[in-house]
């Protein structure tokens, strides 16, 4: 079996020699000629029913070859039979919820997780009733109409780890969806731990360059079919240009994660010692829940750091205002480093009580570490921290 590093480079490219190409073909057709009506009709029926492909793609909302190539590559990295790609991570999550509704409308959710995911689930917008529970409450809170358990690990934004195998055992026959965006397949493969669905906001590490918005679900073939049916009906298919960029980004995924993670490990150590920082959330420091899963469930601590600063909201805002190299912006997983304020941005949609209950405090910042040189990142970050606290001894 190939190493993941090799698969990241070659997955979805196995037929290039046969095609006589060295770069992925891009198919921008919105419709496809139907020269044989019987074949066209059969193809339409197959695609609407959720088949992965058909003799004729018919129409780009139903299938696109460039998207299918990226899906094949990501499925290989996750160790999945199938991958279904959407126009965003939220579209991917919505598709799973809609696909599961045929069996019931109740889901259990472990907080914290991405703010918009939380908001969608709490709103009941898709006709889903969500109960928010701790991981150790799952078995007691399952109902006859519970159709899904949702977790995010590492969690957004606290970076707490959730024991996937323990959650799967507690859920019993109820399928578990893991948002593994922060980990990437390089550091974690939830299907190997019993999860049934793996969600990635592919906008982040999988694309890796801040120029793609995409979402994917990795799962078994039988679970992919209803997801494709939802996608065909709702028009959520990823655009082929985005699929091309996403597939291209995978080739450097292993290198990017390794470099950014090495940076993060060093920055986390230095941040922990900085007098302006009250707490650093990072698995390698043992400062997140279930840090013992590092080395078993997680192959590395990852590329994100959460830090709390002395001085509350004003100090956090000052750090964002004073960074020069690091970009103050939402999102994560790009080649460049980004810093943002969860309570004021990504998790702003949550009410104040929920924010505090999930430890999304006004003094919390989330840093997505990129592949720049460690010393340049530290110079920028430490200067911004010092500027937020003028009384801090510069020598310290």
Domain 254-388 top-level CATH class: alpha beta
Q: pLDDT for 10-59, tens place per residue?
A: 999 999 999 999 999 999 999 999 999 999 999 999 999 999 999 999 99
Of the candidate ranges 44-53, 344-353, 378-387, the one whose mean pLDDT is the lowest = 344-353
Q: What is the pLDDT of residue 356?
A: 83
Query: Among residues 100, 111, 196, 204, which one is catalytic?
Result: 204
Q: What is the pLDDT of residue 2?
A: 87
Of all residues in the chain, what percent carry a pLDDT higher than 90? Answer: 94
Q: pLDDT for 263-318, tens place per residue?
A: 999 999 999 999 999 999 999 999 999 999 999 999 999 999 999 999 999 999 99
Q: What is the pLDDT of residue 1?
A: 76
pLDDT above 60: residue 349: yes
Q: Is 204 annotated as catalytic?
A: yes
pLDDT above 70: residue 395: no
Of the candidate ranges 167-171, 178-182, 227-231, 355-359, the one whose mean pLDDT is the lowest = 355-359
- Report, as an integer, the average pLDDT of 225-253: 98
**β-strand pairing of 338-340 with 364-368:** antiparallel
Q: Is 114 annotated as catalytic?
A: yes
Give Cα separations from 393 to 386, 388, 390 (angstroms): 8, 12, 8
Q: pLDDT-derived band of residue 331, with 50, 70 and 90 as boundaries?
A: very high
pLDDT above 80: residue 228: yes
Q: Is 192 annotated as catalytic?
A: no
Q: pLDDT-derived band of residue 390, with 50, 70 and 90 as boundaries?
A: low
Of all residues in the chain, what percent carry a pLDDT higher than 70? Answer: 98
Q: Exposed e or buried b for every residue in 249-283, given b needs 16+ CB within 10 A?
A: bbbbbbebbbbbbebbbebbeebeebebbebbbbb
Q: What is the pLDDT of residue 393?
A: 45
Q: What is the pLDDT of residue 102?
A: 87
Return residue ranges of the chain for CATH 3.40.640.10.
4-250
Query: Among residues 59, 114, 244, 282, which one is catalytic?
Result: 114
Q: What is the pLDDT of residue 210?
A: 97
Contact (CB, 8 A) for 147 and 100: yes
Nearest-angstrom CA–CA distance, 38 and 49: 17
Return residue ranges of the chain for CATH 3.90.1150.10.
254-388
**Beta carbons within 8 Å of 37's beta carbon, 6+ residues apart:** none
Nearest-angstrom CA–CA distance, 328 and 321: 8
The token pair at 53 is 């492909």
- Distance of alpha carbon 61 from the chain centroid: 24
Query: Among residues 118, 179, 223, 363, which one is catalytic?
Result: 179
Of the candidate ranges 84-98, 319-333, 344-358, the one whose mean pLDDT is the lowest = 344-358
Domain 4-250 top-level CATH class: alpha beta
Q: What is the pLDDT of residue 394?
A: 42
Nearest-angstrom CA–CA distance, 9 and 7: 5
- Report, as an integer, the average pLDDT of 146-175: 98
- Mean confidence (pLDDT) of the chain: 96
pLDDT above 80: residue 389: no
**Helix/strand/coil for 16:** helix
């Amino acid at each position: 079996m190939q190493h993941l590093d090799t698969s990241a480079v070659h997955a979805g490219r196995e037929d290039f020699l046969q095609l006589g190409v060295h770069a992925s073909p891009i198919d921008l057709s919105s419709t496809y000629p139907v020269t044989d009506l019987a074949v066209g009709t059969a193809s339409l029926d197959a695609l609407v029913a959720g088949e992965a492909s058909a003799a004729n793609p018919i129409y780009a909302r139903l299938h696109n070859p460039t998207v299918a190539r990226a899906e094949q590559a990501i499925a290989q990295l996750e160790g999945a039979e199938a991958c279904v790609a959407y126009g965003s991570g939220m579209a991917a999550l919505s598709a799973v919820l809609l696909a599961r509704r045929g069996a019931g409308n109740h889901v259990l959710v472990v907080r914290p997780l991405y703010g918009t995911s939380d908001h969608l689930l709490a709103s009941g917008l898709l006709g889903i009733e969500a109960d928010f529970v701790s991981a150790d409450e799952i078995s007691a809170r399952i109902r006859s109409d519970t159709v899904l358990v949702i977790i995010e690990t590492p969690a957004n934004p606290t970076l707490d780890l959730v024991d996937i195998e323990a959650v799967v055992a507690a859920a019993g026959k109820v399928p578990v969806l893991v948002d593994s965006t922060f980990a990437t397949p390089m550091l974690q493969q939830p299907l190997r731990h019993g999860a049934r669905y793996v969600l990635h906001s592919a906008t982040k590490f999988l694309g890796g360059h801040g120029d793609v918005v995409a979402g994917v679900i990795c799962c078994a073939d039988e679970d992919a079919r209803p997801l494709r049916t939802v996608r065909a009906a709702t028009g959520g298919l990823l655009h082929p240009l985005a699929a091309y960029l996403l597939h291209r980004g995978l080739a450097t995924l292993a290198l990017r994660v390794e470099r950014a993670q090495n940076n993060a490990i060093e920055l986390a150590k230095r941040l922990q010692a900085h007098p302006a920082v009250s707490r650093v959330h990072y698995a390698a420091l043992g400062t997140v829940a279930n840090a013992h899963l590092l080395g078993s469930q997680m192959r590395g601590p990852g590329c994100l750091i959460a830090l709390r600063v002395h001085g509350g909201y004003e100090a956090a805002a000052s750090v964002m205002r004073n960074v020069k190299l690091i970009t103050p912006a939402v999102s994560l997983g790009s080649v460049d480093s980004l810093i943002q304020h969860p309570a004021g941005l990504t998790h702003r949609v949550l009410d104040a009580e929920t924010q505090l209950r999930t430890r999304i405090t006004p003094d919390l910042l989330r840093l997505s570490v990129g592949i720049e040189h460690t010393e340049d990142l530290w110079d920028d970050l430490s200067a911004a921290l010092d500027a937020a606290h003028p009384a801090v001894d510069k020598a310290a």
